[in-house]
Amino acid sequence: MLYTKIIGTGGYLPPRIVSNDDLAVQLAEQGLETSDQWITERTGIRQRHIADKGMTSSQLGTQAARLALADAGIDASEIDLIIVATSTPDHIFPSTACLIQDQLGISGGAAFDVQAVCSGFVYALTTADALIKSGIANNALVIGAEVFSSILDWKDRGTCVLFGDGAGAVVLSKSSEPGILAAQLNADGSQHGILCTAGNVSYGEVVGDPFLRMDGQAVFKFAVNALTKSAQNVTAKAQLELSEIDWMVPHQANVRIINFIGRKLGMPTEKVVVTLDKHANTSAASVPLALDAARKDGRIQAGNVVLMQGVGGGFTWGSVLARM
Ligand code: UT7
């Protein structure tokens, strides 16, 4: 039987770290009140990495891709598919995937972006898995890359404290050993308004509101219910029990959401990878960054069963269950 396996991971964060205290000072200059205590208690976030102006998702994604290729021990020339999950592409077009292909010095394979906001990585991973299993590709780079700081309204304390920038990447390869075991993707477009950037660029002008807006409480409730069911469904699809999952690598939006889901699934907190304290919510980059962190510090080992989950604007959500 043909499988696809994750054979390497990489993560890259822009060097500038902004702590909650730094942000409180920055917002106070604009007459807005926030505090390390509020942000930590409500979200678990303590700091985020912020890209300098001009730094792009393709630059962050290329760095993460290079690290993932080195980890996999394969040359970029062996990659015949690049899928980038991003809501902050460098341009409307060409795709960020094409720009990363160019920065890696390769050409000829397929390259395209996936737009599923914070679920983007699990959508991209599932797509790459299907393209490899169907014989269309052999070795894929799946990348989540975001400069979310560029779409935040830095005068909206309800959203600007939540996000950060970064990129995570995995190399996925054809294998005779079990790798990706099951996946489930979902969307409910009727909920598009609870998390969106409604504006656009048209006829040379920004039309409408260009910033991220969110009904935090609606997103919170939706995320908990959707991801709990999604985890149950994908585990059943793989004919596994929830107790057989070694690691949960959830989207890193809010530690309270992660804890709620963990409790509903009976998942001990020691089995849940949390990086949002250091990275904040990096949207499509959050899952591959967390996966890479837990592999590199030795928690996730070869043979472990890992549940990856994304949830975000659209509304979209999904789960991928993989044996590493
Ligand atoms: O990746 C996409 C997925 N996104 C998410 O999963 C986010 C989901 N939602 C959340 O994580 C939470 O809803 C938030 C962290 C966004 C908000 O937490 P909350 O417990 O739902 O707070 P709230 O929106 O009900 O606000 C409580 C209070 C309000 O003040 P009043 O009306 O009670 O006086 C806010 O104005 O906290 C105020 N507030 C703040 N105070 C200090 C909102 N933002 C801040 C802030 N600092 N940064």
266 exposed, middle or buried (CB, 10 Å; 0-12, 13-18, 19+)? Answer: exposed
Instruction: Report the distance separating Cα 53 and Cα 38, nearest Å.
Output: 27
Ligand 1 mean position, distance from CA 43 (Å): 9
Look at the alpha carbons of 171, 267, 187, 61 in this order and tell me if their dihedral is positive or negative: negative
- Name the 3-class secondary structure at 141: strand
* Spans of the chain, pLDDT less than 70: none
- For residue 283, give the ligand 1 atom closest to its CA: 1
- How many angstroms separate the CA atoms of 310 and 121, rounded? 7
- pLDDT for position 71: 98
- Which ligand 1 atom sits nearest the alpha carbon of residue 251? 1
Atom number in ligand 1 closest to CA 217: 13
**pTM recorded for the entire structure:** 0.97
Domains in the chain, CATH or no CATH each: 3-175 (3.40.47.10), 180-323 (3.40.47.10)
Q: Looking at residue 1, what is its pLDDT?
A: 83
CA of 45 to the centre of ligand 1 (A): 13
pLDDT score, position 281 = 98
Q: Give the per-residue pLDDT at 233.
A: 98
Q: Which residue's alpha carbon is at the smallest distance from atom 10 of ligand 1?
A: 216
C-beta separation of 324 from 294 below 8 A = no
Residue 189 Cα to ligand 1 middle (Å): 23
3-state secondary structure of 272: strand
Active site residues: 118, 251, 281
Fill in the DSSP letter of residue 142: E
Yes or no: say if 143 and 93 are a contact pair by the CB < 8 Å rule. no
CB 109 within 8 A of CB 128: no
Ligand 1 environment, Cβ below 6 A: 34, 38-39, 42-43, 118, 157-158, 161, 195, 216-217, 219-220, 223, 253-254, 257, 281, 312
Distance between CA atoms of residues 111 and 82, nearest Å: 5
Q: What is the dihedral of CA 209, 210, 211, 216, to 10 degrees?
A: 60
Nearest CA to ligand 1 atom 24: 216
Query: Do residues 292 and 10 touch, judged by C-beta distance below 8 A?
Result: yes
Question: 235, 111, 251: which is closest to 181 by C-alpha?
Answer: 235
Q: Whose CA is nearest to atom 39 of ligand 1?
A: 158
At residue 216, the pLDDT reads: 96
